[in-house]
Amino acid sequence: MNLPDDLHVLLPAYNEGPVIADVIHTLREAGIVHIVVVNDGSDDETGQVARQAGAIVVDHLVNRGAGAAVQTGIELARQENWSYLALMDADGQHVAEDLAKLMANLKEQEADLVIGSRFLASQKGMPRDRKFYNGIANFLTNLLTKKNYSDSQSGLRLLNRKAIEHLDLQVDGFGFCSEMVVLAERAGLKISETPTSVIYTKYSTSKGQDFHVGVRTAFNFLWNTLFK
Amino acid sequence: MEIRLFQILIPAIGLLFVVTQIARQAKGKVTLRETILVAVFWIAVSAVAIFPDRISNFFAELLGIKDNVNAVLFLGIVTVLYFQFLLYNRYKGQQRQLTKLTRMIALRDAETEESKAS
pLDDT(A26) > 80:
yes
Looking at residue B107, its pLDDT comes to: 96
Looking at residue A150, its pLDDT comes to: 93
Looking at residue A225, its pLDDT comes to: 73
Alpha-carbon torsion, ordered B56, B62, B65, B68, to 10 deg: 10
Looking at residue B47, its pLDDT comes to: 93
Residues in chain A: 228
Task: Confirm if A193 and A117 have CB atoms less than 8 A apart.
Answer: yes
Q: What distance lies between CA A161 and its chain's CA centroid?
A: 16
- Rounded CA-CA distance A63/A44 in Å is 12
Residue ranges of alpha helices (H) inside chain B are 5-26, 32-50, 52-63, 68-108, 113-117
Q: A53-101: per-residue pLDDT in tens?
A: 999 999 999 999 999 999 999 999 999 999 999 999 999 999 999 999 9
Task: Confirm if A100 and A3 have CB atoms less than 8 A apart.
Answer: yes
A153 closest CA partner among A180, A178, A119: A178
Reported ipTM: the value is 0.86
Residues of B in contact with A64 (CB under 8 A): 98-99, 102-103
Q: Does the beta carbon of B62 lie under 8 angstroms from any beta carbon of chain A?
A: no
Give A38's strand partners: A12, A58
Question: Considering only alpha carbons, which residue of chain B is nearest residue A59?
Answer: B106
Q: How many other C-beta atoms can be found within 10 angstroms of the C-beta atom of residue A21? A: 18
Q: Does the beta carbon of B114 lie under 8 angstroms from any beta carbon of chain A?
A: no
Give B97's strand partners: none
Looking at residue A148, its pLDDT comes to: 93
Residues of chain B with pLDDT under 50: none
pTM of this structure = 0.79
Judged by CB atoms closer than 8 Å, whether chains meet at B107 and A56 is answered as: no
Judged by CB atoms closer than 8 Å, whether chains meet at A62 and B116 is answered as: no
Looking at residue A103, its pLDDT comes to: 96
Q: A194-216: per-residue pLDDT in tens?
A: 999 988 777 777 666 666 677 77
Q: How many other C-beta atoms can be found within 10 angstroms of the C-beta atom of residue B28? A: 7
